[in-house]
Amino acid sequence: MHNLFPRRKFKLSATVILIIANVIAYIIFSILVSINSSWINYVGLQPSGILHGKYIWTLLTSMFAHEPFPNITHILFNMISLFFVGTFLEKIIGKRRLVGSYFASGIVGGLVFVFLSGFFGTLPWGAKLFGDPSVIGIGASGAIFGLVGILAVLTPKNKISLIAGPLAAIILEYFFSSVFPGASFLAILGIVLNIYIFASIFLIFSFNPKIYRFALPIQMPFWLLPIVAIAPLVVVGFFIELPIGNSAHFGGLVAGLAYGFYLRRRFPRKTKMISKIFSK
């Protein structure tokens, strides 16, 4: 008898699988750090340690580690970025290329962070620009910037909105913490800014343009996004110590740009067609 209700195969996208892997790693990492804080040394990427041949595997594990619970802003912001950027790019280059690009960009970003921080981070200005070599880096941002780099080459004129609200809130929080260390109002300010960060993230999914504006979206072409996302934070980093690994972001971005240009050269007709379709 013919089956009137055939089973449909349900396949997760590579982007969703990467997000699930990050969330699982986040839960495990949070549990381990809550038991013993020294676990961060075995997961996070520390330039001084890598240069001495220690914890080489952290070039990989640091890509799936984020600030542990109760801080969920870090992973939430990264995973939302990965969802939008990854979903779009996966439709263009496919699952295998997306996953390969994610890992390659993350590892290259980590290596650039190690090199620049390890060799220049001890200089008076080097720590502000490249990071202190003893500081441990975690997060998927380097890998995500690699995906952004590919799109900046393949679909340079396609418009995207940079949600500036959360970044502005983070900068404000660290600015007041630096200028007024130990001030009594910092706790209240932190709560207010964190509420705004969470609200801004969820406002991304709002269909009401008036409400969406509170997240401070800045629309721009893909080719401009990496510059706007990195350059201002580098400048601000000279004056305020931010928990942001700009050198890892830059390394991941360069890896993504390089692969994007390779695809353009390897598949000139296809990439030209893609660029034309998404330039409108």
What confidence score (pLDDT) does residue 242 get? 66
> What angle, 0 to 180 degrees and rounded to 10, lies between the N-to-C axes of helices 225-237 and 246-266?
160
Structure tokens at 197: 């960060």
d(Cα 41, Cα 52) in Å, to the nearest integer? 14
Written as one letter, the residue type at 56 is I
Q: Within the chain, which residues score under 70 in pLDDT?
A: 1-10, 206-207, 240, 242-243, 279-280
What confidence score (pLDDT) does residue 89 get? 94
Backbone angles phi, psi at 13, to 5 degrees: -75, 160
**CB proximity list for 260: less than 8 A, separation 6 or greater:** 149, 150, 151, 152, 153, 154
Alpha helices in 132-184 (DSSP H): 141-154, 164-179
What confidence score (pLDDT) does residue 100 get? 96
Query: In Å, what is the CA distance from 199 to each residue of 49, 129, 214, 242, 261?
Result: 38, 30, 9, 21, 37
> What angle, 0 to 180 degrees and rounded to 10, lies between the N-to-C axes of helices 185-203 and 73-93?
20
Structure tokens at 69: 């619970």
What confidence score (pLDDT) does residue 279 get? 66
Domain map (residue ranges) of the chain: 14-158+222-277, 163-220
* Per-residue model confidence as pLDDT tens digits over 110-156: 999 999 988 887 887 777 778 888 888 899 999 999 999 999 999 99
Predicted model pTM: 0.87
- For residue 148, what is the DSSP state? H
What confidence score (pLDDT) does residue 211 get? 78
Written as one letter, the residue type at 142 is G
d(Cα 20, Cα 9) in Å, to the nearest integer? 19
**Count of alpha carbons within 13 Å of 138, Cβ hemisphere only?**
20
Listed residue (91, 84, 280, 71) closest to 190, CA to CA: 71
Omega before 226 cis (within 30°)? Answer: no
Q: Which fold has domain 14-158+222-277?
A: Rhomboid-like fold (1.20.1540)
What confidence score (pLDDT) does residue 207 get? 66
What confidence score (pLDDT) does residue 255 get? 96
